[in-house]
Amino acid sequence: MTVNRRAQKVCSRCGHTWLSYMSSPIRCPSCGTYHWQERPVSNVCNMCGHTWFSRSESIPTRCPKCKTRQWKQPEVVYTKHEERANVDSEILSMYESGMGCVSIAMATRKPVSVVIDAVMNSRDDNIPLRM
């Protein structure tokens, strides 16, 4: 008589732990991914900040949340104080005209974090930002 032993499995994507009779289950019972044994490769959009896992090994062409193709642009590095001041004044004028932070980021092709920092540094109130 053979005894079926259950082995503990851990999903590398969602962290769910379960016991399974199978040596290599097909899917994670919690998140349903077929890639539960693989090391997850996460992607972060520099425009909206959304984080997601790819379904394949290829690099995604668009961010699934904001649909931009410039999601993987490198973080902006400022070398001159004057350049930063010009960018901040452009962002502030757009914000004061009624645009939200995400719209400004997409129009200026700057990360949302840069836009939020520029707006927050110019304000003294605790009113929530327009996104």
Helix (H, G, I), strand (E, B) or coil at 95: helix
Residue 50 domain-assigned (yes or no): no
Q: Give 26-59 pLDDT, tens digit per residue.
A: 888 988 888 788 877 778 888 888 888 777 677 8
What is the domain range of residue 6? 1-40
| DSSP β-bridge partners for residue 8 | 19
Number of independent structural domains in the chain: 2
- Burial (Cβ within 10 Å: 0-12, 13-18, ≥19) of residue 118: buried
pTM score = 0.42
Average the pLDDT over 64-85 and give the result. Answer: 68
pLDDT-derived band at 84 (thresholds 50, 70, 90) equals low
Residue 32 lies in a domain: yes
Domain CATH number, residue 116? 1.10.10
pLDDT of res. 125: 66
Residue 109 lies in a domain: yes
- What H or E segment, with its residue span, contains residue 44? strand 42-44
- Backbone Cα Rg of the chain: 22
In a domain, 31, yes or no: yes
